[in-house]
Structure 1
Amino acid sequence: MNTYRHTLAAVCPSDCELIIYRLEVRSPAMIYVEHIKAATAIIKKGWHEQIADRLSEALGGDQTIIATHQGVEIETVRLSG
């Protein structure tokens, strides 16, 4: 099992706050770092759960995304298969 961790930022469409997300992807297959960076770089704006869905489609694997928005910590998990 491989574990990849990356930090990304995106703007919340509701209040225009810049949110910092911590992404963790676990996968038995290798995922190129360049693929992770490319998939996260195109995300500029979105709701936490929608960002999780987009990254799950783009990267596969089991994913956890954590961020704090307006004092509320949100953890979203997307499981493969």
Structure 2
Amino acid sequence: MNIYRHTFAAVCPSDGELIIYRLEVRSPLMIRVERIKEETAVIKKGWHEQIADQLAEALGGDQTIIATHQGVEIETVRLSG
């Protein structure tokens, strides 16, 4: 099992706040670091859950994304298969 962790930022479309996201991907397959950075770099704006869906589609594996928005911690989990 490979575990990848990456932090990235995107703007909330509701209030314009810059949100810092912590992504963790667990995969039996190798995922190139450059691929993770490319996929997160194109995310400039979006709702947390939609970002999770987009990254699950692009990267695969089991994913957890955690962020705090307006004092509320949000954690999404996307499982492969």
Decide: shared fold, TM above 0.5: yes
- 1:80 to 2:80 alignment: yes
Q: How many residues align?
A: 81
Q: Cα offset for 1:39?
A: 0.3
- Tell me which residue corresponds to 1:29: 29
* Counterpart-to-counterpart distance in 2, 1:21 and 1:13: 15
Would you identify which runs of 4 or more consecutive aligned residues in structure 1 move more than 2 Å?
none
Name the counterpart of 1:67: 67
Instruction: Give matches, 1:50-65, under 5 Å.
Output: 50-65=50-65
After TM superposition, give the deviation of residue 34 of structure 1 in Å.
0.4
Q: 3-state SS of the aligned residue for 1:4?
A: strand
Percent of residue pairs bearing the same amino acid type? 86
**How far apart, in 2, do the equivalents of 1:74 and 1:2 lie?**
24
Deviation at 1:66, TM superposition (A): 0.0
Q: Does 1:6 align with 2:9?
A: no
1:10 partner amino acid:
A
Deviations 1:27-70 (A, max 9, x none): 00000000000000000000000000000000000000000000
Give 1:80 deviation, angstroms.
0.2
When normalised by structure 1's length, the TM-score is: 1.00
Structure 2: any 5+ residue segments left out of the alignment?
none
In the alignment, the residues of structure 1 paired with residue 63 and residue 31 of structure 2 have an alpha-carbon distance, to the nearest angstrom, of 13
Does residue 44 of the first structure (1) align with residue 62 of the second (2)?
A: no
